[in-house]
Structure 1
Amino acid sequence: MSRNLYHDRRAQWTLYLLFFAALALIPAFVEDAFLLNQFALFGVYGLLAMSISLCWGTGGILNLGQGIAFGLGAYGMAMTMQMQAQDPVTSPIPPFMLNNGLEQLPWFWEAFWSTGGGLFMTLFVPTLFCLLFGGLMFKARVSGPFFAIMSLAMLSAIYTLVLDIQPYTNGANGISPPMPLEVFGSSLDPYSTTAFWLVFGLLAGLTILAKLLTQSKFGQVVQALKNDPERVRFLGYNVALYETLTYTISGFIAAVAGCCFTLLMQYVSPAQFEVGFSITMVIWAGIGGRLSLLGAIIGAFLIQGGQSYLGDSFLNSWMLILGFFFIVVVRFLPKGLAGLLEAALGRLSSRDRKPASATTLHKVGG
């Protein structure tokens, strides 16, 4: 009896490899540097959607505050790039700090004098935050809508904090590093094919690692506790630990996306911590298919691509259209667009079974 091809692991891996191979060929057909930068930015959104899929779809943890890890990663990269433009002797303090009355570089900026140290802190701080915040929440058995509300509240608090400490973050104006990131003595042009391949290399690599994680024993336990955490707890598993690790890994991926965002845009602001942006990440995953890492990525591509070409036409109505579309998908396609593919392949497999069953009955009757 044939199975639904959608659940076949070989078919899944083949689709993943074909998808990322097709993305790698984009620079060969796109000569416009600005358009190539926009495609790379879609890769950042794909990373965010995939991180939500891992956290929400695999682990059952609805995180409405993914912008925390993303924003911290984006600010860390901006601080690293800003300090590359400063001279320890002649200009040790960024101009916006001088404009806000600071006469000495804040202590938490010191680590960003070193590019390696800055990149380490850029990923370490948001990952550590997720580990501590998630550990406290899940150990107290805060889950479901309660965790979603707590993550949203924490996101709002950090957004307000970043705005208020203007001398250290430049407030609503954000940080605009004057030069691209310099690595190993060479400047990384955000409009180059190198930047594009870097972003999509990270997208492909982290997605494949996340896929392997979901298929491992760890992933099976996480999916089991999503369906029935009490039963998993009675089997002797530390549910809080598995939930915390899933949330932390998802946060790490979002922090990587934040690094890439600043690398491409050369700008970061408190907008990266806005509630609406984090909710949009959930919409990407929900429409594309939260149970599928690849489906979530495609959902981000489709929605952001639609916004790029239709957002100017509909202006503020675009968010209403997107919200309506999300409600329709959640109501009629709970598995998102990936669920359509699953249903279509399921029908094909059922058709294949019918002739086989008829042949078997004919032989038995004969």
Structure 2
Amino acid sequence: MTQNPYHNKMLQWAAYAVFFGLIALIPLGLDDAFLLNQLSTYGVYGILALSLSLCWGFGGILNLGQGVAFGLGAYGMAMTMQMQSQSVADPIPPFMLNNGLESLPAVWEPFWSTGFGIFLALAVPTLYCLIFGALMFQARVSGPFFSIMTLAMLSAVYTVFIDLQAYTNGVNGITPPNPLMIGDFVIDPYSTTSFWTVYAVLLLTTVGAKLVTQSKFGLIVQAQKNDAERVRFLGYNVAVYETLIYTISGFIAALAGCCFAFLTQYVSPGQFDVGFSISMVIWAAIGGRGSLLWAILGAFLVQGAQSYLGDQFLNTWILMLGFFFILVVRFLPGGLAGLVETILGRLTAPGKAKPEMDLAPQANVQGN
């Protein structure tokens, strides 16, 4: 039987090469700094969609609180950038003085070091995912119950960051006055440097996630998504695999948060907003949660449409997006990736088989 090209691993890697090759051409023909920054932000959304595809599409774990890892990473990077603008003679950020603090809080002290600050921006949300995931999965909390718990944690973190106004500036957020500096190197958010940085992160995380899904670990993760009890009976600790894939997904989301902070030079509790985390689910669902590449494209398509149609239709755009999401869930459960898979399958389908032929069922290979 002819294999559907959608499942051909060599063609999948070729699709990745073409995709990132086209992205590499963008700065060569673009001299609009604002548009370049906007496209860089789309790269951040692509990283987030990738993280959710890995967790939900391949691991079967619907995380409605991915904004926790993203927001913690963004705050860690913003705190690092803020401390780069302070000096020994003037160590306290202005918003802390406005809120009555007379000394720099201990929680801010590690961010004097740029390297250690970035490390914490990635380590804290990753550790959070590891601990929270272990507690939930060891207790066999799964399915909609786990999704509700992630949503509850997201709301709790959102409230905490608003209430700790003296330390986080509340709803106003943190606005570092200067771009991120790595040694003597400045990453201007409106330069090609920031564009290359974001898409280098997207490239590395995409390739890393793809290799994870094709490894033995990835196969077990996909197996437990389809039938966790059978995998458990085969002797595997399902909770460990669920925790690890959830943690890896959180680490990728934290990377996206770091990139977002140095691109926008601003972070607020809005990064923990429930609506934003639900948007990540919509990106992955529309693109195709079972495909890393199409989840990224889903984020590009939805956010691109919002940028250009949202200004025209205002709040009506949310209704349009919701209606389109319902159509996709109802008629395209595999998203746009599923549509492409079906089309390619029909184009390459062999002629009608003879009755005497014994056609063995084709192995189910995960999409790209």
The TM-score bracket by the shorter chain reads over 0.9
- The yes-or-no answer on 1:42 pairing with 2:42 is yes
Write the distance in 2 (CA, Å) between the matches of 1:186 and 1:73. Answer: 21
- Match of 2:351? 354
The one-letter code of the counterpart of 2:11 is A
- The yes-or-no answer on 1:76 pairing with 2:65 is no
- Match of 1:30? 30
Write the distance in 1 (CA, Å) between the matches of 2:250 and 2:152. Answer: 17
Write the distance in 2 (CA, Å) between the matches of 1:106 and 1:119. Answer: 18
- Match of 2:240? 241
CA drift at 1:186: 2.0
- The yes-or-no answer on 1:9 pairing with 2:9 is yes
Q: Which aligned segments of 4 or more residues in structure 1 are displaced greater than 2 angstroms? A: none
Instruction: For 1:170-185, list aligned pairs within 5 A.
Output: 170-185=169-184
* % identical equivalent positions: 69
CA drift at 1:192: 0.6
- Match of 1:345? 344
- The yes-or-no answer on 1:265 pairing with 2:264 is yes
- Match of 1:311? 310
Q: Which secondary structure state, in structure 2, belongs to the residue aligned with residue 329 of structure 1?
A: helix
The one-letter code of the counterpart of 2:128 is F
Write the distance in 2 (CA, Å) between the matches of 1:301 and 1:141. Answer: 35
Alignment deviations for residues 196-230 of structure 1 (CA, whole Å, 9 cap, x no partner): 00100110110011001001100000000000000
Write the distance in 1 (CA, Å) between the matches of 2:186 and 2:59. Answer: 39
Write the distance in 1 (CA, Å) between the matches of 2:28 and 2:303. Answer: 22
- How many residue pairs get aligned? The number is 356
Alignment deviations for residues 165-187 of structure 1 (CA, whole Å, 9 cap, x no partner): 00000000000000000112121
The one-letter code of the counterpart of 1:43 is G
Write the distance in 2 (CA, Å) between the matches of 1:85 and 1:4. Answer: 55
- The yes-or-no answer on 1:199 pairing with 2:198 is yes
- Match of 1:58? 58
Note the residue ranges of structure 2 that are not aligned, 5 or more in a row: 358-368
Alignment deviations for residues 249-292 of structure 1 (CA, whole Å, 9 cap, x no partner): 00000000000001100000000000000000000000000000
Write the distance in 1 (CA, Å) between the matches of 2:255 and 2:163. Answer: 25
Write the distance in 2 (CA, Å) between the matches of 1:30 and 1:338. Answer: 29
The one-letter code of the counterpart of 1:354 is G
TM-score scaled by length of structure 2: 0.95
CA drift at 1:319: 1.0
CA drift at 1:317: 1.1
Higher helix share: 1
- Match of 2:360? none
- The yes-or-no answer on 1:295 pairing with 2:277 is no
Note the residue ranges of structure 1 that are not aligned, 5 or more in a row: 362-366
TM-score scaled by length of structure 1: 0.96
Write the distance in 2 (CA, Å) between the matches of 1:244 and 1:220. Answer: 15
Q: Which secondary structure state, in structure 2, belongs to the residue aligned with residue 182 of structure 1?
A: strand
CA drift at 1:67: 0.1
Write the distance in 2 (CA, Å) between the matches of 1:33 and 1:263. Answer: 15
Q: Which secondary structure state, in structure 1, belongs to the residue aligned with residue 178 of structure 2?
A: coil
